[in-house]
Structure 1
């Protein structure tokens, strides 16, 4: 069987150092499907990095309109090819065609690309700041180096290395992208890459603006991550893999924006449980098992008080989990990791209430619910915060509100934290205590809604304190904020106006919001703010 080509330096070509090959697998059966894809060696990785580095200055100087045209043409190409893309992604991931892939994730992906194009045109991501007294002007600018993007297994479109938020953000900042596709969905990634390359040619961008590699071993991954020719890394995946890449990148001074793990604690306050415990049990089960639990915002730990309403909630939730059929997971690797995580939780003292076993055919695992007392959780907080990537959640039973706040204080950094309260206001004081402890430990604090799902909004924070990500100040979702990860802060001190970038000059023909002497304004300098 012929091995599929790589996209390197404007050419679809065979790997020049082929270290092996692999095929996608159908998760529902475990059978290999589709063509073979290359596991490439250092020669091919070096070729991609050299080509991207060589065009970085040219891309940084490219007119924003060309970049926006590429992003919009790519979005249109994806929509025109939606039927085939959905079929490929369904076969490789077992995610349902409707509504997940066709009605939710694919539109989210094209929306992200178009929002990035809008940010490119209005230059909002550049965040200009002008100090007229000191004659200092600064803005965010391209890195003049390529960005390496590692895509995860759980979003074949919206976080794909060749189409997702990291990709769109890096391109919007006028940086070349080297995409490392995830081996769980190579055919989907290949088709996206062909659409991206066609849009690139249409927009007249340098050929090495977009390149894609399918797979390489961990040693090569850390080698490229530590290459100073890289401008930045975007990674979504396992904590171990992300930290290895980050360590290599840190040693070379390469910024690494890594999303690592999160258990997304959910606090069910006593009044909320007494008021609507049965409904909350159903809502919790639906969230935990959505997408077979393979979301980075899955509710992995739920905190419930030891009282009659709490006991009723646990009993109701246990019934839902016990009656559920095994869920299909993305791969053998995901199944093995999930089984290991559940074993770790049980070894740390968690009791299995429902599920806990693999199923067949293919890669399946029963929705599983575990429970532990808060005293035990507080003695073993690290082990009992092990992320179980799949349809699994841990209940933590607290004695009272004070212990609930103690549990909140014991959490590591997470992407999200949720607090459910009663509609009559009876939980308001408790909310304040729990939120005070939880707020510094989560990127997004949610009220009365399960954490699964991430809205594509300029106000979204899909990030959080370590170890949910490597840096608490950046988001992987939401334009223009996500773009700023892949930028450099450029300051101009006493530079003549005609030599400044357009958004830092006195005239502001585009109506861009600029911070002039501490006041945000869209006026020309000398009219309104800063006058």
Structure 2
């Protein structure tokens, strides 16, 4: 089988002990294997990783928040220093633009969210202490005391990587060991990130088994692992079929799984907005749909366009943009194949192909930007089939005769990550905006106005989540501290426990100006032991 790259298990880089096969990364632009061989791990390696993570859990849960923060800051600094190498690896494995997407956006975002996680650790913000002095009750969010399994996706080699992304950072802030399952689309990038994380663990004195990396394993073993009750939680970003399969076994084992799956992110163009700036909106839509070759979970997959002259002009302009664009590079052959299947399903359900709809010529994994359209009657009659995700540079236009029909269309959508409404600057669309938004709001995690959905800011106010089936739990986000951290925390309550035996953030003396809900009032003050009041 040949020599394969080492895995990171039990605090050390070592040869996989149970190799079931091997694979290499692929250059998507040419469809050729690149780089070294990586192992497909068997059950023995998975068991070793779980056992080591369980053994490290108690020590990591007891680690001082400052040490956790120091690890995250050190890791972020190492990533920044190694940017040139990381960008070169990720570009080779994904074909994402090196200067703009990777170096200019995603890598800085990754180190920034690690530093935001470090701040959350120092400020205890994720623990949300609540104190009732009258009843002698105190509660906060605390570590799970078990490992978190993180499945990384193919479309963000840094910012959602299993060993550097938001899920990873959130689990570590909550002081849980991470078993990182890398995506096989970018194994060398993941290995280099894990090397930097391992270096940071050494420097900060945390348990070395706090971070472990496996590159790939058989789907059956993945399902078996997801059903292991020793896990505290699972984070998954990927396809609906994969997420739902993992959720089924995790649910049976009582393991919480936070799965981000599929989303079409409907965009409603209201009449006034189109009349005001239709040509600019056509360009904005095209740019958003083809950004990163359309391989975003927030890609504008369905756009609702009024049946007006301005709507007709928008459609004509959009068709021109799509029809004249060069084929986009996709991550892998299976991504292209699934995109073709999704487009075929949309056409079978009644959508008309307006541009694209075919792979590019030559080697590599290319696909033409694709635009389809359907009228309101067909969409309303076949809404389930016509809102299937087409992961790639593809979108469906739905023509609507009026605001009443737009409201009906909004009511057909299942849960999505985002929903967008474009309104006119003069306020002429505001009544329509309110009508459509009232129906769309409970169906999306983030409601946007006058902006395409593809941008996801790393902010405490961001919700990168949404109603089922876009995610497995509507009340949680994968981006934004401290909310993202609480996915990997347990609510611990203390009843009548003496002050000196409580966790520090629940004691009478506030350890560092932490906002705490004391007897119904948010305060950073200490509690006076004699009265329970705050000074």
Give me the TM-score of the superposition, normalised by structure 2: 0.98
5 Å-filtered alignment, 1:481-496, equals 481-496=483-498
Structure 1 equivalent of residue 199 of structure 2: 198
Structure 2 CA distance for aligned equivalents of residues 9 and 343 of structure 1: 46
**Distance in structure 2 (CA, Å) of the matches to 1:159 and 1:453:** 14
Shift of 1:65: 1.2
Identify unmatched segments of 5+ residues in structure 2. none
Query: What residue in structure 2 maps to residue 97 of structure 1?
Result: 98
Partner SS, residue 470 of structure 2 = coil
Q: Partner of 1:358: helix, strand, or coil?
A: coil
Post-superposition offset of 1:530: 5.4
**Counterpart in 2 of 1:305?**
306
CA 1:445–1:528 in structure 2 vs 1: closer, same or farther (change >3 Å)?
farther
Aligned to 1:265: 266
Aligned position for 2:379? 377
User: 2:396 maps to which residue?
Assistant: 394
Distance 1:467 1:98 in 2: 34
Distance in 2 between the 1:206 and 1:74 partners?
15
Could you tell me how far apart the structure 1 residues matched to 2:13 and 2:510 are?
Answer: 42
Q: Deviations over 1:118-174 (max 9, x none)?
A: 100111000000111111100000000000000000000000000000000000000
Quote how far apart the aligned CAs of 1:361 are. 2.1
One of 358, 366, 369 as aligned partner of 1:367: 369
CA contact 2:133–2:532 (8 Å) conserved in 1: no
Question: Could you tell me which residue of structure 2 aligns to residue 332 of structure 1?
Answer: 333
Q: Does the Cα contact within 8 Å between 2:376 and 2:399 map onto a contact in 1?
A: yes
When structure 1 is superposed on structure 2, of 520-529 and 500-509 the one drifting more is 520-529
* Post-superposition offset of 1:423: 0.5
Residue 418 of structure 2 aligns to a residue in which SS?
strand
2:133 equivalent in structure 1: 132
TM-aligned CA deviation for residue 2 of structure 1: 2.1
Cα distance, 1:352 vs. partner?
0.3
What is the correspondence of 1:444-523 to structure 2 with a 5 Å cutoff? 444-523=446-525
Partners of 2:494 and 2:533 in 1: CA distance? 20
Contact 1:265 1:418 in 2 (8 A): yes
Correspondences of 1:60-459 after superposition (within 5 Å): 60-359=61-360, 360-459=362-461
Partner of 2:26: 25
Question: How far 1:528 sits from its partner (Å)?
Answer: 10
2: CA distance between counterparts of 1:473 and 1:261?
A: 17
Instruction: List alignment gaps of at least 5 residues for structure 1.
Output: none
Aligned residues: 531
1:495 Cα deviation from its structure 2 partner: 1.0
- How much has 1:207 moved relative to structure 2? 1.5
Q: Is the 8 A contact 2:144 2:490 kept in 1?
A: yes
Give yes or no for contact 1:162–1:212 (8 Å, CA) kept in 2. yes
Distance in 2 between residues matched to 1:426 and 1:394, nearest whole Å: 26
Which stretch has the larger CA shift, 148-157 or 8-17?
A: 8-17
8 Å contact from structure 1 (residues 10, 207) kept in 2: yes
How far apart, CA to CA, are the structure 1 residues paired with 2:37 and 2:504? 48
Give, in angstroms, the shift of residue 496 of structure 1.
Answer: 1.1
Q: Distance in 1 between matches of 2:532 and 2:81?
A: 46
For 1:494 and 1:338, locate their aligned partners in 2 and report how far apart those are by CA, in whole Å.
Answer: 58
Q: Alpha-carbon deviation of 1:425?
A: 0.4
Displaced runs of 4 or more, over 3 A:
526-531
1:454 Cα shift? Answer: 0.4
User: Can you list the C-alpha shifts for 1:430-478, whole angstroms capped at 9, x where unaligned?
Assistant: 0010000000000000000000120000000000000110000000001
State the distance in 2 between where 1:518 and 1:285 align: 49
Q: Contact conserved, 1:74 with 1:195, CA < 8 A, in 2? A: yes
Superposition RMSD in Å: 1.0
